[in-house]
Amino acid sequence: MSKVQRGEEQTVKIENCKMKTENFRADITRVGTHLRTDGLDTKSIYIFQFSIFNFQSLSLLLPLCTLLFALSASGQAQTVSDKAVASVTNGAQTIPDLITYSDLEWQLALEPSRAGGARPASPELNQALKTLEDQLLILQEARKLPLAETNEAQKEFEDTVKKRRDELAQAFGSRAHLEERMSRVGLTSEQLDTILRDRVTIERYLAFRFRAFALVSAKEISDRYENEYGRLRNTGKIVPTLDQARDRIEHDLTEEKIAEEIDKFIDNLRDQPGTEIVILNPV
C-alpha cells in the first residue's frame, strides 16, 4: 500500500471518529495525556511532551464518544474543533504519532517572539509542522533508551520541567502573560507540562548523544578570536585578550558544533528506511 493510500486510509479513520466527536479537543483535554503514546518521560532525557496523539489512541477514543457528546450537550466546557494534520514514525513503532492542528497552534503560541492574537498564516503553520515533525523523530529515538525510575531521578526531572516553565513565563514577561497566551489557543496547564516534559526529554537526549563529543581545539579558539578581534587592533577600541575571550568563544564553538550535528542527525532520521511522514490535511 502506498504512502498516499495509507494516508487516505488513516484520514478516513480519523474523520469517522471526528464526526462523532467534532468538538472533542476541549472536552478530551483531561484524558489527552493518557491517550498519547507512552514513551520516555520525554525530556526524562529530555527537550519535547507535545500534545501529540497516537493513532493507537483512536481505539480508546471511540468508546468515549457518548461521554464526550454528553459533556458537549451539557455546555460545561467551551469546545474547539480540531483536525489531524500529519502522522510521523521513524520505524521504531508500528503505530505513528499524530500531529493535530492544535499542536501547531500551541507550538506557535509558545514562541515569545511571535505576536499573539493573529490567526497563523500557512507559512507559519508549515514551519511549526516541520518543527514538530523533527521533534517527534527525536522523541521516538529517545523512547528507545531506558528511563531512570528512581524517586530521585523522577524528582530531578520534574524539577527541571518546573524550571523550564518558569523560564518560559519569564520569556513572556510574566506568568499572567503566558497564561493569557495559553488561554487564547485552549492550552491547559496540564498540556503545557506535557509539552515541557517532551522538551526536557529531547534536550537531555541530544545532550547525551552530542555534547560530550563536541570538542573544540585551541587552534579553533585562536582562529575565531582572530576573526572577531584581529581587525579591531590599533583602532582605539577596547579589545579583550585571548584569555579573556576564551571561555565565551569555546562555548560558542561548542554550541555551533552541536547544532550542526543535530541538523545532520535529523536529516538522517528523515531519510532512514522506515521513516514515514504522511500529510493528512495540508495547512
> At 278, which helix (H) or strand (E)?
strand 276-279
For residues 254-268, give the mean pLDDT: 96
Say how many C-beta atoms besides its own lie within 10 A of residue 246's C-beta.
16
Lowest mean per-residue pLDDT among 71-85, 123-137, 171-185, 212-226: 71-85
81 — pLDDT class (breaks 50, 70, 90): low
Residue the block writes with cell 573544540:
216
Say how many C-beta atoms besides its own lie within 10 A of residue 111's C-beta.
15
Mean pLDDT taken over the chain? 78
Each domain of the chain, given as residue ranges in start order, spans: 3-203+275-279
Lowest mean per-residue pLDDT among 116-120, 140-144, 193-197, 206-210: 116-120
pLDDT given at position 235: 83
pLDDT surpassing 60 at residue 10: no
pLDDT in tens, 23-55: 444 443 333 433 333 333 333 333 333 333 343
The most confident of the ranges 90-94, 113-117, 170-174, 211-215 is: 170-174
